[in-house]
Structure 1
């Protein structure tokens, strides 16, 4: 037991130890910190390596700075092999009991459990301690599988948790960590690289490529192949490659099945649909439904998929024809999601609007295009927005060097300034 306690001590904030905190992500920590002091379980979800662990440690550090005794922080990261001895929730119970015996913390204990889905039965631990009225606990957990977390939390903690989705660095965070000036060129640099936190400590493209490849392999193997007993791992990876290389395009599962069949690969609709669902669960890909702007309802059939981070495209599959306009659209989608919007692809008869974004009472229609290089391009991009007869906000986002004046109530926004209006 002593070696287990030594491991716990190694990664905690006791006796002046400060685990690595990384680049401070104030937007996330502010939002999460607003919920401290309640019995609500704080749940951070998102793709592996998107920065959830750093944010948990930043919150713990912020609690200490606000006066919480470091000895009242209990932090476990199941991604670290040092914690392999915790496989079942009762192992975690034993470790928590050992911690209380050794440190004898007074008052509330703040529990931080990173990558909680790697502990079998974790939901029993969280449910028990979040509702413990004898000993006071406040719980923060993170996970990389949306379906598993949402099913367990909805079953046991209905209404007693709050969810935060963590994305890779925004452009604003990118310029903060790189100290680059906010302008078109740095935005293009952002677009042509990637935004996962660890990329910024790697020295060159080769190490970055190896890092991104390792993430992809780990997610596919540990989070999908092993968990779901996948019978055709090569097909799973090829489905992922297809989605990456067709991001920002309207696709259907039937089209994907036909694509593989035309290449001599036997598969079925259900297999491809399941594989896509599993990839979505890992947050590496996001599905966006079409939305009938006139009928105010979603439309089944074709949809779009966006990559959680463009590093998968830029470092792993750069040879496939993929214009800057598609990458820009992907980044606009991610920026809308970071800002808390529900996002849809807008449809009305023969026209399509790239994004219908909703948050509370606010609704924005957005078109995304590389450049408004001539009058014909401008007419093409503005026409779908002009055809919408309601009075909600409308905007065109592009990489033009100059900001154009409003046209019939439609704003033009340079991509690197998008976050300012959201």
Structure 2
């Protein structure tokens, strides 16, 4: 264990090393640090390469610079690094942590940071044990790239003693800040094409970006899905990924997907397709938006909509066409509502569709999304659908028109960048 401990030193600040924190994501940092000094386990989940590791390091830096915590009281381990291949099970992790305490003679509260913790078998027992150990003061932060991280045993063990933060790629305002661009339609369209994965901002050519996204997709599919679930039909999973990516914003049912594959002479069944779709959403590549019946006040089964966690997967792997702007805009609005903490569903009212019903606590808003309000039919559809909702909750139409239109019977017209603070 002494050898692993020596490697661990490189990734901690015990000997005065500077912590590389990257671009500070202030909104997330503020939310997470608001739960400091509690025994709640802070759990960061999200797609690979969305910035979870940097956020953990930003929290560490915050503790050192703002809370005057001794760097020796911070223990960080990233299971993605080859240096920690020997840490296979919770007992290995416990042995390393005990070795660290003995070597550094740590006194007082210890902050434990475990990155990509799902790669350690039985990690749940370590987290549960140390988070509930009242003989010593510990505070734990863990991250993972699968939405099932807190399912099963850990959720039962902790039973409300954790708080979860879903980390999404950079939003438009962060994109502007990093790229030093001005807010407006031109920069927004660039963001809509580029997406918000942090590492993309440092790649200078389309080819490099495309190769990076292809590599990331393969990592998610091969490591996070194929290895974890022992996938038997990799070509089917690849085709399903493409199908969902090019059909974002369209109503999609499992039966529709099966029929599509049958038309391509690809045999499959409901159970397989349903499982593969679930694996892709568990890995945070796609989000599922269920339909909600406004009249019956219930979630509808069957068809739903899928949105990409980052548009780069579609734009760089399958092309960005002028006809895609409307769908990409809808995808952006969905993600932005999630970033703001809303639960988002697709509305159904009689034969009409409301693009989004977003709810946060007691607040409900309805949103229609259109690329442009460029003819009477589009205007009547977008505003007319909202007018059919007979309640007093806020209603918005979001579009990329150059003009900003006046309120229409209480319905507000917004440009997409105005959703930053809605």
What TM-score, normalized to structure 1?
Answer: 0.98
TM-fit CA distance, 1:156:
1.2
Q: Distance in 2 between matches of 1:121 and 1:394?
A: 47
Query: What stretches of structure 1 move > 4 A for 4+ residues in a row?
Result: 319-322
Quote the residue 2:30 is aligned against. Answer: 30
Any unmatched runs of 5+ in structure 1?
A: none
Q: Distance in 2 between matches of 1:15 and 1:414?
A: 49
Q: Distance in 2 between matches of 1:255 and 1:317?
A: 21
Q: Distance in 1 between matches of 2:180 and 2:322?
A: 31
- Structure 1 residues 331-387: Cα deviation after superposition (integer angstroms, max 9, x where no partner): 000000000000000001110000000000000000011011133321121111010
Quote the residue 2:293 is aligned against. Answer: 292
Quote the residue 1:311 is aligned against. Answer: 312
Matched-pair contact (CA < 8 Å) for 1:288–1:305: yes
Quote the residue 1:269 is aligned against. Answer: 270
Q: How many residues align?
A: 421
Quote the residue 1:93 is aligned against. Answer: 94
TM-fit CA distance, 1:303:
0.3
TM-fit CA distance, 1:19:
3.0
In 2 relative to 1, CA 321–184 (structure 1 residues): closer, same or farther, beyond 3 Å?
closer
Q: Distance in 2 between matches of 1:273 and 1:111?
A: 37
In 2 relative to 1, CA 320–246 (structure 1 residues): closer, same or farther, beyond 3 Å?
farther
- Structure 1 residues 15-37: Cα deviation after superposition (integer angstroms, max 9, x where no partner): 22123211100000100000000
Matched-pair contact (CA < 8 Å) for 1:245–1:320: no
Q: Distance in 2 between matches of 1:250 and 1:106?
A: 57
Q: Distance in 2 between matches of 1:404 and 1:314?
A: 30
- Structure 1 residues 296-345: Cα deviation after superposition (integer angstroms, max 9, x where no partner): 11111110000000000111111788521000000000000000000000
After superposing the two structures, state which structure 1 stretch, 312-321 or 225-234, moved more: 312-321
Q: Distance in 2 between matches of 1:323 and 1:113?
A: 39
What TM-score, normalized to structure 2?
Answer: 0.98
TM-fit CA distance, 1:147:
1.6
Specify the SS of the correspondent of 1:301: strand
Quote the residue 1:174 is aligned against. Answer: 175
Quote the residue 1:78 is aligned against. Answer: 79
TM-fit CA distance, 1:61:
0.4
Quote the residue 1:203 is aligned against. Answer: 204
Q: Distance in 1 between matches of 2:152 and 2:176?
A: 37
Q: Distance in 1 between matches of 2:179 and 2:153?
A: 39
Matched-pair contact (CA < 8 Å) for 2:314–2:320: no
Any unmatched runs of 5+ in structure 2?
A: none
In 2 relative to 1, CA 319–188 (structure 1 residues): closer, same or farther, beyond 3 Å?
closer
1:409 aligns with 2:410: yes
Quote the residue 2:43 is aligned against. Answer: 43
Quote the residue 1:160 is aligned against. Answer: 161
Q: Distance in 2 between matches of 1:316 and 1:63?
A: 40
Matched-pair contact (CA < 8 Å) for 1:143–1:149: no
TM-fit CA distance, 1:62:
0.2
After superposing the two structures, state which structure 1 stretch, 15-24 or 135-144, moved more: 15-24
Q: Distance in 2 between matches of 1:25 and 1:85?
A: 32
Q: Distance in 2 between matches of 1:28 and 1:202?
A: 25
After superposing the two structures, state which structure 1 stretch, 365-374 or 303-312, moved more: 365-374
Matched-pair contact (CA < 8 Å) for 1:14–1:70: yes
Matched-pair contact (CA < 8 Å) for 2:193–2:320: no
Q: Distance in 2 between matches of 1:205 and 1:150?
A: 38
TM-fit CA distance, 1:3:
2.3
In 2 relative to 1, CA 231–55 (structure 1 residues): closer, same or farther, beyond 3 Å?
same
| Alignment of structure 1 residues 52-63 onto 2, 5 Å | 52-63=52-63
